Amino acid sequence: MNVDNPGKFVSELLDLTEVDALAERMLDYHLEVFERIFDADVFSIYGLLLGNTDDELRDLVEGRQRSLRQNRAVILLSTAGGYLEPVQRMVETLRHHYDIVDFVVPTHAYSAGTIFVMSGDSIYMDYYSRLGPIDPQIETERGGNPVSASGVLSQYAKFVEKSATSGLSPIEQDLLLESIDLGTLDQMSHEHRRSIQLLSDWLPKFMFRDSSDQSATKERAAWIAKTLSDPERWHSHSHAISMDILKSEFKLSIVDFGKEPSLRERIRKYDKLLSNHQSLKDVDVVLHTMRDFKYLRSAVDYETEEMS
């Protein structure tokens, strides 16, 4: 923008405002169609699952519930992951207000996003959609980007095993002592166990609740949770798990929205439009329901906007 020319600066600012308003109207149009298709309140969450995401979703849900009450919610989710606490609170919020909660994954929902999706009654994916290992992320005292709890715990266990057998090299000793403190390791271990427990609890309660053999269902859920949390199985925090693997190996009942061409194309158009809108707004998270948008730039610095 040309800040040396106030008139041009205002004109450019108005142009951006108009572009934002047009994008939001187009997104509302698509969401309104989704609500008719699914006969549900529809919410979109795009971006990292940060500390304030749960607060903003609560406000959106309560706003919808003050008008015409629906029994079903559908969540369009696109995320690289995040933190377990907001995920647990979002699940509790949705289940407090809705009997049925389904998830649509246009492209990806990794880590904490996978745990969130597994709390649903149904999951909608196509051949391009991906989930990931359930690998909680933890902030360390050193700051910077969150780190993979399962990955660090796995590496630490290897160091401990090696120290008890062949011994560690000086470099490995320094790496072990300096990389992370025992308090953070304990927190990582707690979050790792918690992610497994949440998945083990939610699958029988929601996705598998119509099963006639609840004992076998609980065993199956525990196996799924343990397998999805195994770093030796997946090797990477961002390992992509396709719909075919989820159906063939984990025996999950996934609804393939790719078999409905009109729905597939609308989901893809909405996904591209919202992803581009998020990029232009330069925000970490966008939450959207009808005539209501919330934009988060971090866990503590966010902006909300509501269309009248």
Per-residue pLDDT tens over the stretch 156-197: 666 666 566 766 666 665 665 565 665 667 677 788 889 999
Phi, psi angle pair for 185, to nearest 5°: -60, -40
What is the CATH number that goes with domain 1-132+240-308? Answer: 3.90.226
Of residues 189 and 79, more confidence is placed in: 79
Distance CA 17, CA 22 (A): 9
Confidence of residue 9 (pLDDT cuts 50, 70, 90): very low
Of residues 15 and 64, more confidence is placed in: 64
Q: What are the tokens at 74?
A: 């559908």
Helix (H, G, I), strand (E, B) or coil at 107: coil
What's 27-92 look like in SS3?
Answer: HHHHHHHHHHHHCCEEEEEEECECCCHHHHHHHHHHHHHCCCCCCEEEEEEEECCECHHHHHHHHH
User: Residue range 93-111: average pLDDT?
Assistant: 97
Element (H, E) at 152: helix 149-165
- So what's the pLDDT on residue 44? 99
- Asked whether the beta carbons of 266 and 33 are under 8 A apart, the reply is yes
- Asked whether the beta carbons of 83 and 49 are under 8 A apart, the reply is yes
- So what's the pLDDT on residue 253? 87
- Asked whether the beta carbons of 307 and 295 are under 8 A apart, the reply is no
Of residues 307 and 56, more confidence is placed in: 56
Break the chain into its structural domains and give their ranges.
1-132+240-308, 141-238
- So what's the pLDDT on residue 224? 97
pTM of the model: 0.83
- So what's the pLDDT on residue 308? 26
